[in-house]
Chain A
Amino acid sequence: MAVNVEARAARLPQLGWVAGYGELLRTLVRRELRMRFKGSALGLFWSLIYPLAMVGVYTLVFSVLWRATGNIPHYPLFVLSGLAVWGFFQAGIQLGTTSLVANGELIKKVWFPRELVPASAVLAQTVTIGVMLGILIPIALIVEPANARTVALVIPIVAALICLVLGLAWLLSVANVFFRDVEHLLAVVFLPWFFLTPVLYALDQFSAAHSHRWLILLMRYGNPVTPYVESVRAVVLQHTVPGAPLLVYVFVVGPAFALLGLWVMQRYEDRLAIEL
């Protein structure tokens, strides 16, 4: 296994490292998980308690008190599915973005494909979305057995979502090395972003949906995470296959971001060790 610097400076994103460095990726993910759950016996439990508590609070406020969710069946499951996607999206990007700076010591002193660092941060987050879907899906199947027809589609959709988060994490982590305030900017952006994403509501539920069609379209396709929220919901809760535009978006945008992120990462890789 040679260190071939020439090949890595190529113009197109390289994928060869996946084979050679699978073991390192696994080690880094394991490390990431252990760091997160270190020192707390309840480990994974804590990372679940927060979204579950939020499901309870949102249900109480919007469904029970406000009665604003009349036409959404199984509102707690609706929110849980949205939070599963959003939670992974946000945590993956935030931790991925800071990962290069946080692992500066490692990067400065030894060589390995740098894309592994944000990738391991993102992949470690898949555990949470996995467990949340693991709770959600059986319940969804019990309350609506028809969901069994479409639920398998959740796997490729989540895979495409992982691609999207990986791509954004690669892009933003490199940006964060050069401009350290990217991570602070993100922290500010994520809250409004959350409310613009249909986690607590459905876009089609609004009475304005018919008079302002372009606004709904903008909110659906202008926000990269929205199609993933809607698609996961469609196959897990609504036993429907998402429409063609949504499916095309899901399976094109995610991998496209991943390739773009990888390309940027490999382009700037050489400068990382110097900037850090």
Chain B
Amino acid sequence: MSSDVAVQAGEIRARGLGRMFKIRLTQTRSLKETILRRELPKTRELWALEDVDLDIHRGETFGIVGRNGSGKSTLLKLIAGIFSPSTGTLEVEGRVGSLIEIGAGFHPEFTGVENVYLNAAIYGLKRSYVDEHLDEIIDFAELEQFKDVPVRTYSSGMYMRLGFSVAMHIQPDILLLDEVLAVGDEAFQQKCFGRLADFKQAGGTIVFVSHDPRAVERLCDRAIMLDAGHVLEEGPATEVVSAYHRRVVSGPSEAVRRDGVAAARCRVHEVRAIAVDGTPRDRFVEGEPMALEVWLYAEEEVEDASVTVGIRDADARPVGSQTLEGVRLPHGRLERLRLNFPGLPMREGRFFVDVGVTTADRDAELALAERALELSVFGSDAAGSGPIRLGGTWDVPHVDGTGDG
């Protein structure tokens, strides 16, 4: 393809990578039903990942950020080889150690030691190699006393320790890391980070996925931000993470109801603060009249939605929220909602506006835009303090004695 140079061990190269899933809307699981039903089961195509170009170099720690459902884990699973691409090419060279899911490649009925052999064999290692390193692996995982009991009795922390230990001892060229490290206790996490630093030092490649952008910022050299299966940002980790924070407009989010039925697609297109003269602004003076404008876009009609506008302070503490029920969103059109404030209720500081759209029964989140808007408010009343403008007017006794006092 577009490969000028062959991919070396520890490198990952993707060109136009895409992965489509067919979502079955009607669940058919039996042969009889398939034969008796003449029409094909209804399916919908969902592109979990589309047109992704990626170059991850040897010795690099590469982060992937994005919200739930943005395609992060699909990308990891493609790199791990669990799925194959629907379009494009993906070249992964070298042995890939994967810590994507806790207990991956473990058999619950097997003891710790037996699982070390199983897991190592999955990675293609010889039994003799494991024989040699078994004590080391068990030691590192701190499972000396539990090595001969079935892993189904393990805690999630123990699972993680064993998985990490095996993955680090199989001499991988590439290590895929997920949220899993968070399961361990503080001391073990430190040990893991130490080990990861050694791995990196030795020229190992790490691909790290997290919901926690700070962890990505701390660990990674470069990163990408995924949204709805597309790469939105690529560059130095700090820049990508701040772009992720800055994102004013939330991308479309695929809502899934708790009962498993995919709900309609809808997104928060824009959130603006409008001053009294009708112009959008993001700096206001305490008590100034203003309005918050929320622009919503629905791909499929939503009959009865609840829209919540919440305000948080700079430390992410909620200041207050307001919900509007019974909102109807026609499909394919931008709808504007306006929340009017006769006087801005906040006092001095930086504030963030979140907008959430849910179904009427609040069972499914249709869209969520966190930190959709940042507001700066300047205090005007030196006599007040705290995050909100308490307001109120004093009634005081007259000093000249003519009052009712």
Task: Give the B-binding residues of A (Cβ under 8 A).
Answer: 1-3, 5-6, 8-9, 20-21, 23-24, 26-28, 31, 34-35, 105-106, 108-112, 179-182, 185, 270, 273-274
Say if the beta carbon of B187 comes within 8 Å of chain A: no
- A23 touching B83, Cβ below 8 Å: no
A27 and B32 contact, Cβ closer than 8 Å, known pairs A106-B105, A109-B82, A109-B101: no
The residue that A109 contacts in the complex, of B21, B105, B109, with Cβ under 8 A, is: B105
Q: Contact residue range for chain B?
A: 35 or more
- Of B91-99, B255-263, B312-320, which binds chain A? B91-99
Q: Within the complex, what minimum Cβ distance (angstroms) separates A92 from chain B?
A: 21
- A23 touching B125, Cβ below 8 Å: yes
CA distance A21 to B125 in the complex (A): 9
CA distance A42 to B93 in the complex (A): 47
A110 and B85 contact, Cβ closer than 8 Å, known pairs A180-B30, A181-B32: no
B89 neighbours in A (Cβ, 8 Å): 6
B21 neighbours in A (Cβ, 8 Å): 274
- B104 touching A31, Cβ below 8 Å: no
CA distance A72 to B108 in the complex (A): 50
- A270 touching B30, Cβ below 8 Å: no
A2 neighbours in B (Cβ, 8 Å): 92-94
Say if the beta carbon of B90 comes within 8 Å of chain A: yes
A110 and B82 contact, Cβ closer than 8 Å, known pairs A2-B92, A2-B93: yes
Q: A34-B114, A105-B108 are in contact. List 9 more A-B contacts (CB 8 A).
A: A1-B95, A3-B92, A27-B127, A28-B121, A106-B107, A110-B80, A112-B122, A179-B31, A273-B82
Say if the beta carbon of B188 comes within 8 Å of chain A: no
A273 neighbours in B (Cβ, 8 Å): 77, 82-83
13 contacts between A and B (CB under 8 A): A3-B96, A5-B90, A23-B124, A24-B124, A26-B121, A31-B107, A31-B110, A34-B114, A106-B107, A110-B80, A180-B29, A180-B30, A181-B31
Q: Within the complex, what minimum Cβ distance (angstroms) separates B237 from chain A?
A: 26
A105 neighbours in B (Cβ, 8 Å): 103, 107-108
- B104 touching A3, Cβ below 8 Å: no
**Residue among B21, B82, B83, B101 with the most chain A CB within 10 A?**
B82
Task: Give the A-binding residues of B (Cβ under 8 A).
Answer: 21, 29-32, 34, 77, 80-85, 89-90, 92-96, 98, 100-101, 103-105, 107-110, 114, 117-118, 121-122, 124-127
B93 neighbours in A (Cβ, 8 Å): 2
- A3 touching B81, Cβ below 8 Å: yes
- A181 touching B82, Cβ below 8 Å: no
B103 neighbours in A (Cβ, 8 Å): 105, 109
Q: DSSP majority for the B interface?
A: loop
- A31 touching B118, Cβ below 8 Å: yes
**Residue among B29, B84, B101, B127 with the most chain A CB within 10 A?**
B84
- A179 touching B30, Cβ below 8 Å: yes
CA distance A274 to B77 in the complex (A): 11
- B29 touching A9, Cβ below 8 Å: no
Q: Within the complex, what minimum Cβ distance (angstroms) separates B363 from chain A?
A: 26
A9 and B105 contact, Cβ closer than 8 Å, known pairs A179-B31, A180-B30: no
A27 neighbours in B (Cβ, 8 Å): 117-118, 121, 127
A185 neighbours in B (Cβ, 8 Å): 31
- B82 touching A108, Cβ below 8 Å: yes
CA distance A111 to B104 in the complex (A): 10
B109 neighbours in A (Cβ, 8 Å): 35
A182 neighbours in B (Cβ, 8 Å): 31
- B104 touching A270, Cβ below 8 Å: no
Closest to B92 in A: A3
Q: Within the complex, what minimum Cβ distance (angstroms) separates B48 from chain A?
A: 11
Closest to A185 in B: B31
Closest to A6 in B: B89
- B80 touching A270, Cβ below 8 Å: no
- A5 touching B124, Cβ below 8 Å: no
CA distance A183 to B98 in the complex (A): 32
**Residue among B34, B108, B122 with the most chain A CB within 10 A?**
B122
CA distance A5 to B101 in the complex (A): 21
CA distance A21 to B124 in the complex (A): 6
B124 neighbours in A (Cβ, 8 Å): 1, 20-21, 23-24
B82 neighbours in A (Cβ, 8 Å): 108-111, 273
Q: Within the complex, what minimum Cβ distance (angstroms) separates A9 from chain B?
A: 6
A5 neighbours in B (Cβ, 8 Å): 81, 84-85, 90
CA distance A112 to B84 in the complex (A): 13
The residue that B114 contacts in the complex, of A3, A26, A31, with Cβ under 8 A, is: A31
A109 neighbours in B (Cβ, 8 Å): 82, 100-101, 103-105
- B122 touching A24, Cβ below 8 Å: yes
Closest to A5 in B: B84
B98 neighbours in A (Cβ, 8 Å): 110
Closest to A176 in B: B31
